[in-house]
Amino acid sequence: MNRIAFLFPGQGSQYPGMGKDFFESSEESRSLYRQAQDILNIKLEEKIFNGGAESLEDTSLSQLAIFLTSLSCYQRLNEANIFPEVMAGHSLGEYSALTAAGAFSLPDGLKLIQKRSFWMAEASRERPGKMAAIIGLPAAEIQKICQAAESKGVISIANFNSPNQTVISGESLAVDEGVRLSRRRGARRVVLLRVSGPFHSELMAPIGKKLRGLLDSLEVKPPQVPIVSNVNAHFAERPAQIKENLIKQLSQPVRWTESIENLITQGFNIFVEVGPRRVLSGLLSQGNKGIVSLNVEDEKSLERTKRELKSRL
């Protein structure tokens, strides 16, 4: 029996022009972007579709852009009568999934992303840092590397992305030391991430109080589709639980490997990445045999996904 899960990407998946294909071909997509522009009073179409890659590296813009692109892709899947049994989102993607599932209204989802991204950028200016992906070393080894690099400053694991990829985050000198030690201990590859701060580390913890206050001011509903939480890889259904998990998510690691493993154990074998690029699809391909990995980011990928699902369902 085939079971479908939707996956929503996080920051780093952005690229200039993403979502433009659906915007031009779908009135529903155009309505989504224009609602967002009216709510935020930002010319998002111009910035996302016509801006350069450098402008999209700004956290406050990239998060809104990915969020809207993902929701547009989700709309198009629904229009094609393709629905998931469960959903999960990587970091920012958890907000996309929750909004798609009706836990947040569109205005509240946009407000959360706008404030969250602003606070993250602000915290990064106050206590700068960086992130790096370590490829080819076990997570347990990288945990030891972080402990060894703590003499240089704050450092910890930010993302358990796959059995072969773990991301570290923290103050620049400490992450540089973690990179050096990882290479010395046999990492196949180390990639400094193009993000503006040390996300999912204790350097983001001061934002928690602000986010809690904002979440408490909004209506949070039980999601219409079960959502896997980043912080514990379990389903979160109660509004109070959702709020608490999102606050913890700021400074705790994204347990993506465990989230995917739990879904596979429960029989989910078709995963559709809903949003720009194929970052999560690439992670799925690392050690997960017998699953189908699809994506929707434009008309071409939507048609390909529809054909593949028709042949399997």
Which positions are catalytic?
A: 91, 200
Question: 295's torsion region: left (phi>0), alpha (psi -120 to 50) or beta?
Answer: beta
Return the closest-CA partner of residue 171 out of 210, 127, 214.
127
- Alpha carbons 272 and 71: distance in angstroms, whole number: 13
Neighbours of 240 (CB within 10 A): 10
Q: Do 102 and 158 form a contact (C-beta atoms < 8 A)?
A: no
- Alpha carbons 96 and 128: distance in angstroms, whole number: 26
- Alpha carbons 191 and 182: distance in angstroms, whole number: 11
Residues 6+ apart with CB under 8 A from 126: none
